[in-house]
Structure 1
Amino acid sequence: MSELAAPTAKRLEKPSWRDSRLIVGVILVLASAALGARLVATADNRTPYYVAVENLVAGDRVTASTFRPVEVALADGMGGYLRADAPIPQGKLITRDLQAGELVPSSALGEPGEVDVQRVTVRTDAVATAGLDRGQRVDVYVTTDDATPGSGDEASAGTTRLLDGVAVVGVHASEGGFGAAARTSVQLYVPAAEVQAVVEAVDHDAKITLVPVSGGGVASGADDA
């Protein structure tokens, strides 16, 4: 009987750079590294910008606590916002309403005098101001009833809309009374040209009613000094 031939051990050879599997592996490694570097670069492509800490209305003065910085990545062509790599421009005035957390457009800041409003406090029914808050826009109605019968001044009595869409700066605690008898102090930003008319209505104890403007917004309720 003839003997079976013993198998010959095959020597392992070092892979050659011509090996297709090696080439594919190198390509995959390079592609993964490039993709990872791109993702890291995209994640780091953020810039610090300022956002409003609370709801702001035109006429608010900028203080050190008005804005806070956030890191955001804006799309191309979305510049024009206030960058947070510079100090907060204290002393500037807000020229348009801003919502809490909203990026601050550079165009929303102006110099004192660009927004010609003054703070005026009025008193109104607590029930009528339920739900009213800082930053909301309201129409101001004044009802007078100071005519003396037979004096010929009856035509001066009645209700008129004194102001359109003024901003609420703050709503303060009710003052005495219960229900409809309770009074609440509301601070408004009033155009300078209308301040005298509002003060006269307050001094003559006219009834003042604030009617929220549809879509006027509701703010956080905080008040700045």
Structure 2
Amino acid sequence: MAVEEHGSAPRLSKPSWKDPRLLIGILMVLASVAGVVALVGSADKTVPMYVAKDALVVGQKLSNDSFTIVQVQLGDVDGKYLNPQEGLAENSVAVRMVPKGELVSLSSVGQTDSLDRKPVSVTVDEPLPKEVLVGTYVDVWVALPDERNGFQAPVLMLPGAEVAALNVAASSLGSGKNTQLMVLVTDAQMPKFLGAVANKAKVAVVWNPGAAP
């Protein structure tokens, strides 16, 4: 800045509007304000997304009635979830279990031919651990009948099977309660397991928390 001299005491002159440093300073302030406004605006942005109206189980046929719509802030991950504005493909099914009220990821929805597991009914007489719920994983042990009206040593036939449904009901003899589970079984596991059930094998289920993906 120019310096005016009055006698021996120098004094700074007033800044001029034509001073480029002043203009640069003003532009920097305006840019900073615009950036803050844009950041706040993006933080407040919500988008409509589908959530499961009820728990969705593997193989369940899906329609728009399977969901409710909520406004959520997802930021950069909104492309990973099912968006009502993009619609639902015809003949869509759940290929992964989705709990009630949770956002529906795109990876949870597919077509029937993309299913690599199918639900199979398993009945057990012993009480299940309280941790065994829909969406958890269990090991299914099977003991085949032997020639002495007993059972052979149990073998692990379905390791880390996902529970798709649970139903506790009175036993057929009326002496207690049994639990019917729907567990997801791969095509490769299916023949051997169905053969064991058909031969009246005794089935036991053990909670397996370490099997979750």
Q: Deviations over 1:116-173 (max 9, x none)?
A: 2222212211523666432222111001231349xxxx9x921100012222222222
Q: What 5-or-longer segments of structure 1 have no aligned partner?
A: 1-33, 218-225
The size of the alignment, in residue pairs, is: 175
Distance 1:214 1:47 in 2: 34
Which of the two has higher C-alpha Rg? 1
1:99 corresponding residue in structure 2: 99
**Greater RCO between the two (CA within 8 Å, min separation 6)?**
1
CA drift of 1:78 comes to 4.4
Q: Which of the numbers 118, 138, 153 marks the counterpart of 1:158?
A: 153
1:174 and 2:170 aligned:
yes
Of all paired residues, the percent bearing the same amino acid is 30
* TM-score, structure 2 normalization: 0.66
Residue 197 of structure 1: aligned partner: 192
Distance 1:40 1:76, change over 3 A: closer
Distance 1:45 1:95 in 2: 30
Deviating above 6 A after TM superposition, structure 1's stretches of 4 or more consecutive aligned residues are: 37-40
The answer on whether the counterparts of 1:60 and 1:93 sit within 8 Å (CA) in structure 2 is yes
- State the SS of the aligned residue for 2:184: strand
CA-atom RMSD, angstroms?
3.3
The structural deviation recorded for 1:52 is 2.3
Distance 1:70 1:191 in 2: 34
TM-score between both structures, scaled by the size of structure 1? 0.63
Could you list the per-position Cα deviations for residues 38-78 of structure 1 after superposition, in whole angstroms to 9, with x for gaps in the alignment? 89966872210112234444444323433221111222354
Deviates more, 1:81-90 or 1:202-211: 81-90
Q: Secondary structure, in 3 states, of the residue corresponding to 2:159? A: strand
* Aligned residue type for 1:175: S
SS of residue paired to 2:191:
helix
